[in-house]
Amino acid sequence: MSEKLNQLKELYGEISDLNNAAALLGWDQQTYMPAGGGEARGQQLATLGKISHDKMTSDEFGKLLDELKQEFAGVDPLSSEDAAMVRMAARDYDKATRVPSEFVVEQAIVTTKAFEAWVEAKSKSDFSIFRPHLEKVVELVKKYISFFPPADHPYDTLLDDYEPGMKTADVKVIFDGLRSKQVELIKAIAARKQVEDKFLHKKYNEEKLWNFAADVTKQFGYDWTRGRMDKAPHPFETSFSVNDVRITNRFEADNPLATLFSAMHESGHAMYEQGVNPAWDRTPIGHAASLAVHESQSRMWENLVGRSLPFWEYFYPRLKKVFPSQLDGVSLKNFYKAINKVEPSFIRVNADEATYNLHIMLRLELEIALVEGKVAIKDLPEIWNAKMNEYLGITPPNDALGVLQDVHWSYGSIGYFSTYALGNLVSAQLWEKINKDIKGLDEEIRKGKFDSLLGWLRKHIHTQGRKYYPQELVQKITGSKITPEPYVRYLTTKYSGIYGL
């Protein structure tokens, strides 16, 4: 390895350390920080963000990159990890140098206050508390876009931060091809007799359910010597190094088993981060390829594994032992149908697989409209409710179940939501390939064994880190770029069996 590349890695390592320290403060803000600490926390995050940004945009970093780009000119980054590091460092540098340090500081302070306001607004189901903060957040988002060269669509600039290389037009084409097929499936299911699921909404002991969920993640392969699970208003995964990857969860009294599926979901994210090549920690390629690839891992473990019949053939007898009264007289078949019930619902994270993507399409439309200035912040609750009725045929009774349910806008993550649906598509593409490569996978899952599956994901996804752009990685593994067909096949097969279509 060249001396200049070592220097770049050292500099990038310092930047990574600062960003991880900021992430730790963010994790604490959502888990243990007292309510009064918000203002100081915003200043702390702003300071760390400014130092990190200044290091990334320094003349030293830029000079090293220029020299390394010449040194690795003509070297294929897909076959050279050193060239891949230079490529991704150059991408990060180009984005960072377009954004002034003053903006980084302002955004950190504004979004910290916005998060605190969101927590209060959601608890009181009152959008007016969050509205002035969201107005500032969106104003900053538009300002951020202005720092970059004009794109085909202004939303492209935001989307590229989360899904490198993806365009708004690409997402629209994918969603347009998917929407009608999902709506058709939902209509077909609606014409059938609905499954019974009242037993899922009985009273379940929170501690017992939390512990059961933790045991499932351990059996999946989430390494608890390098991770933990804490409570937060909105479940998430965060990583401070390959050896410190944490998840959060929550308990909903009226939908208790959501705790279990959230744990599966977040552990899918976490196992990805724990599986990145440890030699790449603190380097430009020591992260996940993109949020869609990240989401493919969480949705795979939550749904393709965690809501499958083979999975529950192993785990259902164990769950019945923990909750005998709640599940008394409930057969495995009826339980399996219940956890896969298709029914339009208000909360995205609890939505069934057949309706979930419609939640994402709704949010994508709203975000694009916000960026284009076609929607006023004050009108969001009303527009949200109208679109929920249009897409899913239901209207949220209050803001907490509607426009305030997601945390993402509070910390400025506009451009993010489409990656959730894209992740669903990638999960199904990978699943078809996995089942060709691992013969008898269902039988292994039926025995509570996940080593082969995790090993496959480690080899093909996790250890690859950020060496590839997402479309390059998906193409390399499956032979095609992100496409909806495998996901449509998966949904159709699964729900035809459950609802007798």
Q: Is 151 helix (H, G, I), strand (E, B) or coil?
A: coil
Q: Which two tokens stand for residue 482?
A: 């992100």
**313 is known as an active-site residue:** no
* 3-state per-residue secondary structure call for 2-17: CHHHHHHHHHHHHHHH
Q: Beta strand 229-231 with 244-249: parallel, antiparallel or unpaired?
A: parallel
How far apart are alpha carbons 86 and 5 in whole angstroms?
8
* Cβ-contact 487, 178 below 8 angstroms: yes
Task: Round to whole Å and give the CA distance between 111 and 41.
Answer: 11
Backbone angles phi, psi at 231, to 5 degrees: -85, 145
Which residue carries 């969106």 as its tokens?
138
Catalytic residue from among 81, 266, 273, 295 = 266
Alpha helix locations (H) across 191-257? Answer: 206-220
Phi, psi of 450 (to 5 degrees): -125, 10
Q: How many CB atoms lie within 10 A of CB 393?
A: 10
* Three-state secondary structure call for residue 163: coil
For residue 233, count other CB atoms closer than 10 A to its CB: 15
Owner of token pair 């770029």: 481
The partner residues of 229 in beta bridges, in order of sequence, read 247
H-type alpha helices, 281-352: 291-299, 309-322, 332-339
**Residues ≥6 apart with Cβ < 8 Å to 58:** none
- The residues annotated as belonging to the active site are 266
